Amino acid sequence: MKVNFSQKLANLDGSTSDEAPTLGDVSVKALVENLRGDEVASGEDKFKRAVLAQKILPGGEIELPVEELATVKDRIGKACHPVVVLAAWNLLENTGSLGA
């Protein structure tokens, strides 16, 4: 599935600004942050997340397999505020809601 990681995330009311983070910003941060439970993650899992973050980092439209898309959604869900989760997941699912 192609996802544009350069899209800006919007607030709950749909507004956005130049300072708003992009989908790529929050995705990369969620993938590389150490979250609760990560202390038992295997080196292979951590490596895969880092490689995925490297893939997303440049932004723009990136083709992701379903498994990688699921990983990004899971990590954003665990790492981010509910409004960010709403905006990011909508963009990841190509609904276009809460993104500019």
* CA angle, residues 16, 63, 41, in degrees to nearest 5: 90
Does position 94 have pLDDT exceeding 90, yes or no?
no
Does position 98 have pLDDT exceeding 60, yes or no?
no
Does position 19 have pLDDT exceeding 70, yes or no?
yes
What pLDDT is stored for residue 58 in this prediction?
Answer: 97
Higher pLDDT, 94 or 42: 42
What pLDDT is stored for residue 96 in this prediction?
Answer: 52
The domain locations on the chain are: 2-10+21-92
**Spatial distance between the Cα atoms of 9 and 57, rounded to a whole number of angstroms:** 16
Per the CB < 8 A criterion, the answer to whether 69 and 3 are in contact is: yes
What pLDDT is stored for residue 95 in this prediction?
Answer: 54
